[in-house]
Structure 1
Amino acid sequence: MKKLISIFLSVLMLASTSGVAYAQHFCSGMEMASEITFGEKQLSCGEMDVEATGCSENNVVGEDNHCCKNHITKIKIDDSFAKASFDLKINKAFVATFVSVFILKEVAITSAQKFFFADYSPPPLEQDFNILYETFLI
């Protein structure tokens, strides 16, 4: 994924420094032609006459008139680009915890053998403390 992003950004930087532009040709408010060009290229819709409401009938499309317009969109970048630097502060306790929990995954804190006290009987009472202190649950 990192390689794909770096390739995309390098192609974008190459395209922006080489003068790539998107040129569109509009006649009577409608887009007639569009293409991706290197530099500014003037597009035309051919040698036909435009018969629109705002155009005079003797104007040819190739001439500079108010009926046909070229719109050019350039990719621009700042000339003062520089490699970004980051200050990375690593918390050592976090890294140690992360490694022990997610990378090592099993840390033997307790023994694997479990002891059950099923046969254990409690020691005998010397005195009954509830009667001695007269504390009864109601």
Structure 2
Amino acid sequence: MTLNDSALLERFSRGELSEFPHLDHVRVVYLHTRRAGRDAAVEFARAGLQRLTRQLGVPEKYHETVTVAWARLVGERTEIGPCRDFAEFLDHNPQFQRKELLDDYYSREVLFGPDARARFVEPDLRPLP
């Protein structure tokens, strides 16, 4: 079952999702950026993913650098090229369908190093917008 935009944001914010696939991550940031701006969307993603991983009993899966980097990338493209809806956004930004997109910005050693999980680490290959 695909949730409508409002339901997805609400259930995400309360940590009430039993699954959260990659494109739902992207969609949440896209939607919240449209509602409140990029900086607010980064904070929304951070708080929501921390809550969700706790609710699912896997708080160790939360990764600060992955969360913030993805939110910054999606938020930036959302603000630059507003689209009618998420489907159009993905049509204009197919790179966000690639789960390994952060490999363009981070070496594996930096992204999956001990510091990057606990705190945001800037990329070592190319800067984020």
TM-score relative to the length of structure 2: 0.19
Please tell me whether Structure 1 or Structure 2 has the larger radius of gyration of its CA atoms.
Answer: 1
Higher relative contact order (CA 8 A, sep 6+): 2
Task: Identify, as 1 or 2, the structure richer in strand.
Answer: 1
TM-score relative to the length of structure 1: 0.18
Task: Identify, as 1 or 2, the structure richer in helix.
Answer: 2
